[in-house]
Amino acid sequence: MALDFLTLYIVILLNSLTVSVIWAAVSYVYRSFITARIWLAGCLLSVIGGAVLSLQGNEGALVPAIVGNGFVIFGFCLFWVGVRHFYGAGGGWKSSVAITIVSMLCMVAAFESWNWRNVVYATAQSVPMLLAAIFLLRRPERKLGDWIAAAAMLIGVAGHAVETALNFALMGGYTDRSFYNVVESYALLCVIFSGVVWNFGFVVMAMDRLRDEVAALASKDALTGLPNRRLFLERLAAEVMRSGRTGRPFAVFIIDLDLFKEINDEHGHAAGDDALRHLAHILSSHLRPTDFPARYGGDEFCAVLPETTAAQAKSCASALVEAVRSQPWRWQGRSFPLSVSLGAAVWSKASPTQPESLMEQADQALYAVKKRGRNGCEVFSPALAQSDAA
């Protein structure tokens, strides 16, 4: 039994309208999520296209057929544009306009041939779906949402491929109109279904992105962009466990920006924030790629340095202190010298230490530097602990 094409066009309209409501809600709640607006525009264009197509009836009238499919084709192109935008690739706008214009011109030229008209419809709608699916499948790290969206789009392309093959078969006399109507209506229904599924895939992609952003907010310091205290303590605990298995040493740094209160008092808190960002940049630039700097709180920074002996820790600490000293902080067109006090502690197989004890040792070393007048570094040693006790 063939499905009524007028009914199918109305289903396209209602389906697109439903998905539009979803993307409108996402766009309203997450206003910085620009991709949602692009996908919303694609859905709305499909709604408009479905409304216009419903006016042509089962036989098809020229203006609503051309205009309606033009809206739908450009809407499909926006799904591809949105996928590119979601992953930072950009572009696709000019190609989408070109695809739509060329498709509409081909539809006008082929309108007198009912079969060729359907071939153009199917091909034009398949192109952006295929481009989006290829883009998603070529990504090096594909997540579940990528697979869902790409698979659904390929199903849609397959539905259009069946429709195209049927039109060629009908023109070649290999099938009759009644069989064509039955199969084509279900092929179109397959395309409609795929649209629901690929939008669900987009929603999963968006959920993954928003979840990653929330995780980043929970683990990164908003001011400096460095990992925060919670993530640092997790990394420190993991490094203690790793070194416990391998027996290899690692170092912990605690770094204080000297005279930070004076910066805030003399220049304001905005200046203090900028000085902290300056220090964070120096730490990120001068530590090794394998090291793990973090903002511990206030003007205090920390770092975990894997595979680091006491001698290496001393050398790296001295280099950091010198880097801060030699790179003045600039504020409102003026340069201001900065300095730091740095305390270090080293985990070793000979004297394995828990994270809390390592932090206490690094803090003792930091206190020793401050007692000497700041602007320097110290690595914790048993002799240092004895002098503090005395």
Decide: 384 and 378 in contact? Cβ < 8 Å.
yes
* Average pLDDT of the residues in 113-128: 87
User: Is this prediction's pTM over 0.95?
Assistant: no
SS3 204: helix
Of 282, 322, 275, 327, whose CA–CA distance to 298 is shortest?
275
Is the confidence at residue 2, as pLDDT, over 60? no
Query: Superfamily for 229-388?
Result: Reverse transcriptase/Diguanylate cyclase domain (3.30.70.270)
| pLDDT, position 354 | 87
Mean of the pLDDT values across residues 82-99? 94
Q: What digits encode the pLDDT tens for the residues 197-250?
A: 999 999 999 999 888 877 777 788 989 999 999 999 999 999 999 999 999 999
Q: Identify which of 85, 82, 79 has the alpha carbon closest to the alpha carbon of residue 125.
A: 79
Residues of the chain with CATH 3.30.70.270: 229-388
- According to the model, what pLDDT value does residue 350 have? 79
Q: What is the pLDDT of residues 321-351, one digit of tens each?
A: 999 999 999 999 899 999 999 999 999 887 7
At residue 376 the predicted structure's pLDDT band, cuts being 50, 70 and 90, is very high
Per the structure block, which two tokens stand in for 231?
């993530």
User: Where does the chain hold its CATH 1.20.1070 domain(s)?
Assistant: 5-217
Confidence of residue 148 (pLDDT cuts 50, 70, 90): very high
Output the pLDDT for position 213: 79
Active site residues: 299
Could you give the CA distance from residue 338 to residue 252 in angstroms, rounded to a whole number?
A: 22
* Topology (CATH) of 5-217: Rhopdopsin 7-helix transmembrane proteins (1.20.1070)
Split at pLDDT 50, 70, 90, the class of 387 is: low
CB atoms within 10 A of CB 361: 24
Position 266 pLDDT exceeds 80: yes
**In sequence order, what are the residues at sequence separation of 6 or more whose Cβ sits closer than 8 angstroms to the Cβ of residue 364?**
343, 380, 384, 385, 388
Residues 6+ apart with CB under 8 A from 124: 69, 73, 99, 100, 103, 106, 107
Quote the percentage of the chain above a pLDDT of 70: 95
* C-alpha 187, offset from chain centre: 34
- The string of DSSP letters for 246-313 reads H---EEEEEEEETTHHHHHHHH-HHHHHHHHHHHHHHHHHHS-TT-EEEEEETTEEEEEEES--HHHH
Is the pLDDT confidence value at 386 over 70? no
Alpha-carbon distance 92 to 84, whole Å?
Answer: 8
> What backbone phi and psi angles, to 5 degrees, belong to 138?
-90, -5
